[in-house]
Amino acid sequence: MVMPESSERHRTASRRANQPPTRPQLGARVPLKRLLRVASVACGIQFGWALQLSLLTPYIQELGIPHAWSSLIWLCGPLSGLFVQPLVGHMSDRCTSRYGRRRPFIVAGALSIVLAVLIIGHSADLGWLLGDRGDVRPRAIGFFVFGFWILDVANNLTQGPCRALLADLTGKDHRRNRVANAYFSLFMAIGNVFGYATGSFSGWCKILPFTLTSACSVNCANLKSAFLIDVVFIAITTYLSVSAAQEISLDSSGRSSLVVEDGMGQSSHASEAFLWELFHTFRHFSGYIWVILLVTSLTWVAWFPFILFDTDWMGREIYGGKPNEGQNYSSGVRMGAFGLMFNSVVLGITSLLMEKLCRKWGAGFVWGISNIFMALCFLSILVVTYVANNMGYIGHELPPNSIVSAALIIFALLGVPLAITYSIPYAMISSRVESLQLGQGLSAGVLNLAIVIPQVVVSLGSGPWDQLFGGGNSPAFAVAAFAAFASGLIAILALPRSSAQSPRALT
């Protein structure tokens, strides 16, 4: 008997609906334009990071924290990242929200960033309302540290799922995954450019005069205005990213009809304790993964002194100023933010060239060479510091143009290794975890452990070291140069240099 065509179609559709969903090839077919939109959230996140990195170390000293202890404030980030990002990665791998696995965490992180920057920007006003007067403002410091902690937790809450979402959408296509991470790095560069340009401008209090208050002077008002602009950036880029992802929620068994890691449902039971699962994964790491984690740790030992003291170095060692003592320090901080803007431009250009560099020479070799180049840049910072201290202008006049230009060139050149740091480790680790049947969110969290542990060490040691050796930033930069050189050698010698892949079109 011949079945009617409409009935046959109905039965076929019914059988397909009852079959367990399998991993489709959508991850390899997501258009690059959509990946670009998904990665755009990095612009908003990094806008706030740029303000944090360039202005907050000087600002906390203006509130009354001595330079020797200002680095301890940055312990908030590493300590929160030590647990928050792996935990969020684990939770996002198993999230069954109808909005998808990653997007709820990205939105929650963005809202937390908005709350944090509002608290930081208004910390002086809040402290004033509670009775702060004088040069040391303990209540404002309390609000600042609280907002700073929320900001670092929020950044960790957002960035891990963002990276994991890009890995979800690119699937097993390692080349496309590198391109997606390069996009992410590119938008980080764009966010840095806008953030550092905003931080280097000293006239925001005139454009937004309501930010000037009895508790908030010109420098404070400029900081507050910059963070208000950051709120707008976060809102726009978060919308662009989450509206482009088009995730489909997991069902209760951990399956998705969009993109889900192979073996996701079988890798662990829902009742398994998170920390046990996290540390249990270490047993399955190959030597290759351990080398990636080691190089990542040493790389961030090198980067963190620069992240802590870049603009502070410009204000102290180049301009010869001190917080709350004249305008030299503030002028140096703004010039440092200006230099970091050039750094971000170079970072963006390098991000566009990343795929070609890795395809020609291999990701591990490119990473190693860039870290050795980074070591040379940090050594150059020590040389410029020595020359500036022996020119005789400090304490009498502004630095000569030659010294300022040399410092700005170093800042700009450091954009090359920074772009590679933001991209290659994540692409390498995500391409190696598939055989372990780990979720991409948990994998990004594991890599974050290799980042935050050295940050804790540097945060504890850099301020007291610098104070012990005269109150400058040179000891921290010397440690950075040594760590960068060591990580570069390990990457070149221990990470295999993959052969160049034949180019193929990416659409």
pTM: 0.68
pLDDT tens for 467-497 read 555 556 788 888 899 999 999 999 999 887 6
pLDDT tens for 457-468 read 665 555 555 555
Q: What residues does 468 pair with on adjacent strands?
A: none
pLDDT of residue 369: 95
Q: Where are the domains of the chain?
A: 34-244+278-494
CA distance 150 to 339: 27
pLDDT of residue 476: 82
pLDDT tens for 177-194 read 778 877 887 888 888 888
Residue segments in the chain with a per-residue pLDDT below the cut of 50? 1-28, 252-273, 441, 499-507
Q: Which residues contact 388 (CB under 8 A, 6 or more apart)?
A: 317, 318, 320, 394, 399, 403
Taking the mean position of all CA atoms in its chain, how far away is CA 435?
A: 26
Q: How far is the first Cα of the chain from the last one, in angstroms, to the nearest whole number? A: 47
State the CB neighbour count (10 A cutoff) for residue 69: 13
Enter the DSSP assignment of 99: T
pLDDT of residue 412: 94
CA distance 183 to 175: 12
Three-class DSSP labels, 299-364: HHHHHHHHHHHHHHHHHHHHCCCECCECCHHHHHHHHHHHHHHHHHHHHHHHHHHHHHHHHHHCHH
Taking the mean position of all CA atoms in its chain, how far away is CA 233?
A: 16
For 334-351, b where at least 16 C-beta lie within 10 A, e where not — what string?
Answer: bbbbbbbbbbbbbbbebb
CA distance 429 to 439: 12
pLDDT of residue 30: 73
pLDDT tens for 51-84 read 877 777 778 777 877 766 666 676 666 666 666 7
Asked if residues 309 and 473 have their Cβ atoms less than 8 Å apart, the reply is yes
CATH superfamily of 34-244+278-494: MFS general substrate transporter like domains (1.20.1250.20)
